Amino acid sequence: MSTDIENLFKDKVLGHPGGLFVLFFTEMWERFSFYGMRVLLVNFLTMAAIGYNPGWEWSVENAGALFGTYAMLLYITPIIGGYIADKFTGYRWAVIIGSLIMTLGHASMAIETEFSLYLGLALLVIGTGFFKPTMTSIISEMYKKNPEKKDGAYTIYYMGVNAGAFFGMMLCGYLAEKIGWAYGFGLAGVFMLLGTLQFWLSGPLFGKIGAKPSKVNEVELPQNINEESVEFDENFEKEEKPNPFTLFDKILIIISSVIGLGYAINDPMSKIAGIDMFSALQIGDFEGQYVAVLFALALFLVLVIGRILRYTAVVRDRMIAFIVFAFFTVFFWLSFEQGASSLVIFARDNVDRLLSGGAATTFNIVNTLLTVIPLIIISYVLYLLWKKTFKKIPGSNVVLVLCFLLMWGIVGWMLNRDFKTVAYDVTYSAIEQPAMDDDGKQKVDKDGNLEFIYVPITEGNQANSSQKVVTRTTSIAEPLSFNVGDKLNIITKNNEGTEFGFLDEERLAFAKENAIALNRDNGIVSATITKVRDNEVEITVSWFSILNSFFIIVFASLFSKWWESKYNPSAATKYALGLIIMGVGFGLLAFGSSGAVDGVKVSMIWLILAYLFHTLGELCLSPVGLSYVSKLVPARMIALMFGMWYLAIAIGNKLAAVLGGQIENITEEYSLSTFFLIFTIVPVAAGVLVFLLNPVLKKLMHGVR
């Protein structure tokens, strides 16, 4: 009698069971939704409340505090969700439950009220807790009898991760920035719902795989470092019996967890709402929440050190090596995750994203190839899956086809819109005012000319008789046809008020209603078309974020071959390379922005190169970490150490958002280049240090590679 696993392997797609590709598409739509929302959040929160695409006008510091807590909790809840899936729901139901909760979260965020935003983020954190740990568990169960194919299966699966991230950031970002934020948040929810539906309808293909909780939570240990009642290491030292958690250990876990969760919630709450649960602990200018966090970390270190000391020498040394790797992981992620906060602000406010004429045409062609070729390849995979599994799971296949038809439609609309976008010169009236420095003197440019600022005349900002009114020329780019002499209404597109967009009837009405609600000038400027120029394209802020996924897809196989060759470096060397290469990426940003002054944009080539180096650094370091949890840690500590590893990533994510939130403050006080130098020096210094520790770490690892 055939088992469910054997049946699953009968219908193969590209040498793997069709069920793997169901999981591929499920993960793809989840990552589409996650990254589609992630790339929008800080941009939306910090965008000016009056403008072409108004946001909430939060400070970057407040937006970073909220996003950092969200990102931090995403690595905490899967520990709980994985336990629930193991003991109660089973993996497949955990995926469905998590997906539905995340769908509600995306829908809530699309409403764009403060309550719906917080509710949406909370639902996304909870839903991710169910979803994140269970997908790989299903793959592990599927390949239980075919371990030799597991590496290939995970490679295919992670291509789904990157494909979802790529298209999610591209399409959600494009809709949000060109049409409206609700469309971007809403699209993320639509694909999350469809992804949930296709997975639910695929149940007959899996049989009982992942359907019921396991009686025993199996943990894969590549080096077979497993604590039974008696175990021998390579030095034939007899291990002690299992090291149980004492009551004191459990108390330390509870206290440190409660304080850590309290900090995660308190940080944005204190900044945004002014409610500080830890204010009584403040010491001078040092905030009370940081006092509490340091205390919690001290308790956690007591817990970890106490447990490590109860093991024999070899196991103890290996666990110390693991903790060193976890420590340096924090430094990597606090720099790498600037991609979700400060680099979004940098791309929006400081990078020249306008291309015209031949440059615009070249970009449109490259962007078409970059989008269409991967979509054709993935559509072909869907075709193969349809041929093999339609009779067993017709509903799931139909939903997938609907997903792809929708995505092809949006891609076609996006590309057509960019090819049809034309630039126009327009004139408008503005009030000329002297630009003053901090000493009350008029600024002078490098050529000795006096500097002025120009305030557009709007419906609510008219000039008086003593003010000088001048005619200014700017440009707008729209996929619409205008003629010289046409009158139209424009409004600022960016926070600096230096770029403008055309207000159609719908946007015009909303601008007036929004201004009334905020009791502010509506910012509407009357303008006249004076010249029809070449094709022009404004690259979206979110487009730069897709480069990480693109570079991973391009370079992942190269790094994989490197790791499998005789030139495979040690773990510490990989860590050092990852940190230093990423620091080089920020160094390029520091160099590229070194000459930037107010109103001067930085070439986009620096940001593209930065994402390239960040990705190369990620490929060196990121895959190393989790594999060393199972290689270096004894089985009875595996759950705690997995938790500790995710805690290190969570801390890195939180610190990334907190530090990224200081981009405006540091730029104002020092310079933009100084801000990026921080993220150059810190990871490079950490990389050099971990490289110097290589001999020590090799000794502590006792032969584990």
Tens-digit pLDDT profile for residues 322-357: 889 889 999 999 999 999 999 999 999 999 999 988
**At residue 226, does pLDDT exceed 50?**
no
**pTM as predicted:** 0.90
pLDDT, mean of residues 276-293: 90
Q: Which of 304, 299, 294, 302 is nearest to 324 (CA)?
A: 304
Output the pLDDT for position 449.
85
Percent residues over pLDDT 90 in the chain:
57
The one-character DSSP state at 286 is B
Which single residue is written with the structure tokens 């989840």?
Answer: 30
Q: Which of 37, 42, 36, 75 is nearest to 164 (CA)?
A: 36
**At residue 149, does pLDDT exceed 80?**
no
Q: Which of 484, 309, 374, 344 is nearest to 37 (CA)?
A: 344
Choose one of 538, 561, 583: the last residue of a domain. Answer: 538
CA-derived radius of gyration, the chain: 27
Q: HSE-up of 266 (CA within 13 Å, CB side)?
A: 17
Residue 233: C-alpha distances to residues 37, 238, 240, 639 (Å): 47, 7, 11, 21
pLDDT band for position 637 (50/70/90)? low
> Hey, what amino acid is at 566?
K
Phi, psi of 566, deg, nearest 5: -70, -10
Q: Which of 595, 592, 614, 611 is nearest to 603 (CA)?
A: 592
Those residues with Cβ within 8 angstroms of residue 485's Cβ, 6 or more apart along the chain or in another chain: 528, 529
Region class of 262: left (phi > 0), else alpha (psi between -120 and 50), else beta: alpha
Least confident of 60-69, 212-221, 336-345: 212-221
Specify the CATH number for the domain of residue 117. Answer: 1.20.1250.20
Give dist(CA 415, CA 367) in Å, integer. 8
Position 665 in a domain? yes
DSSP codes of every residue in 470-483:
EEEEEEEEESS---
* Domain shared by 173 and 32, yes or no: yes
> Hey, what amino acid is at 101?
I
Q: Which of 465, 463, 468, 355 is nearest to 419 (CA)?
A: 355
Output the pLDDT for position 218.
43
Give dist(CA 221, CA 240) in Å, integer. 19
Neighbours of 224 (CB within 10 A): 10
pLDDT band for position 213 (50/70/90)? low
Position 143 in a domain? yes
pLDDT, mean of residues 524-537: 93
Output the pLDDT for position 232.
39
Give dist(CA 699, CA 124) in Å, integer. 42
Give dist(CA 371, CA 171) in Å, integer. 10
In terms of pLDDT, which residue wins out, 622 or 666?
666
Element housing 381 (H / E): helix 358-389
Crossing angle of the two packed helices 18-46 and 60-73, in degrees rounded to 10:
160
Which structure tokens are listed for 578? 């990852």
In terms of pLDDT, which residue wins out, 299 or 80?
299
Position 462 in a domain? yes
Give dist(CA 266, CA 274) in Å, integer. 10
pLDDT, mean of residues 190-207: 90
Position 495 in a domain? yes
In terms of pLDDT, which residue wins out, 321 or 9?
321
Maximum average pLDDT range among 18-27, 203-212, 520-529 = 520-529
**At residue 522, does pLDDT exceed 80?**
yes
Choose one of 514, 538, 562: the last residue of a domain. Answer: 538
Burial per residue of 157-167, b for 16 or more beta-carbon CB atoms within 10 angstroms, e otherwise: bbbbbbbbbbb
Choose one of 523, 538, 553: the last residue of a domain. Answer: 538
Give dist(CA 552, CA 559) in Å, integer. 10
* Domain shared by 52 and 99, yes or no: yes
Give dist(CA 300, CA 640) in Å, integer. 11
> Is residue 22 within 8 Å of residue 385, measured between CB atoms?
yes
Cα 217 to chain centroid distance, Å, stands at 30
> Is residue 276 within 8 Å of residue 267, measured between CB atoms?
no
* Domain shared by 595 and 695, yes or no: yes
In terms of pLDDT, which residue wins out, 594 or 656?
656
**At residue 197, does pLDDT exceed 90?**
yes
In terms of pLDDT, which residue wins out, 495 or 104?
104
* Domain shared by 321 and 295, yes or no: no
In terms of pLDDT, which residue wins out, 513 or 627?
513
* Domain shared by 556 and 526, yes or no: no
Which single residue is written with the structure tokens 């003197």?
Answer: 441
* Domain shared by 174 and 92, yes or no: yes
Element housing 78 (H / E): helix 77-84
* Domain shared by 528 and 573, yes or no: no
Position 114 in a domain? yes
* Domain shared by 551 and 532, yes or no: no
Least confident of 2-11, 292-301, 501-510, 664-673: 2-11
* Domain shared by 466 and 588, yes or no: no
Q: What is the mean pLDDT of the chain?
A: 87
Q: Which of 245, 230, 225, 242 is nearest to 317 (CA)?
A: 225
**pLDDT digit string, tens, across residues 19-36:** 888 889 999 999 999 999
**At residue 2, does pLDDT exceed 80?**
no
pLDDT band for position 212 (50/70/90)? low
> Is residue 638 within 8 Å of residue 630, measured between CB atoms?
yes
Is residue 676 classed exposed, middle or buried when 0-12, 13-18 and 19+ CB atoms within 10 A define those classes? buried
Give dist(CA 510, CA 107) in Å, integer. 22
Quote helix, strand, coil % in the chain, to nearest 5.
65, 10, 25
Output the pLDDT for position 3.
56
Burial per residue of 425-440, b for 16 or more beta-carbon CB atoms within 10 angstroms, e otherwise: bbebbbbeeeeeeeee
**pLDDT digit string, tens, across residues 676-692:** 999 999 999 999 999 99
* Domain shared by 526 and 549, yes or no: no
Those residues with Cβ within 8 angstroms of residue 391's Cβ, 6 or more apart along the chain or in another chain: none
Position 363 in a domain? no
Output the pLDDT for position 509.
94
pLDDT band for position 184 (50/70/90)? very high
Strand partners, 602: 351
Position 221 in a domain? no
Least confident of 219-228, 273-282, 428-437, 644-653: 219-228
pLDDT, mean of residues 522-548: 94
Give dist(CA 63, CA 44) in Å, integer. 9
Instruction: Tell me which residue range forms the domain holding 265.
Output: 245-310
First to last CA, the chain: 41
Cα 416 to chain centroid distance, Å, stands at 28
pLDDT band for position 167 (50/70/90)? very high
> Is residue 645 within 8 Å of residue 326, measured between CB atoms?
yes
> Hey, what amino acid is at 391?
K
**pLDDT digit string, tens, across residues 235-261:** 434 444 566 778 898 899 889 989 989
Q: Which of 168, 174, 160 is nearest to 34 (CA)?
A: 168
Position 367 in a domain? no
Give dist(CA 298, CA 302) in Å, integer. 6
> Hey, what amino acid is at 705?
R
* Domain shared by 580 and 695, yes or no: yes
Cα 559 to chain centroid distance, Å, stands at 22
pLDDT, mean of residues 218-225: 39
Give dist(CA 242, CA 229) in Å, integer. 6
**pLDDT digit string, tens, across residues 538-557:** 999 999 999 999 999 889 88
* Domain shared by 253 and 347, yes or no: no
If one counts the domains in the chain, the total is 4
**pLDDT digit string, tens, across residues 376-402:** 999 999 999 999 889 889 999 999 999
Those residues with Cβ within 8 angstroms of residue 493's Cβ, 6 or more apart along the chain or in another chain: 51, 52, 53, 499, 500, 501
In terms of pLDDT, which residue wins out, 520 or 18?
520
Give dist(CA 38, CA 340) in Å, integer. 7
Q: Which of 418, 433, 498 is nearest to 51 (CA)?
A: 498
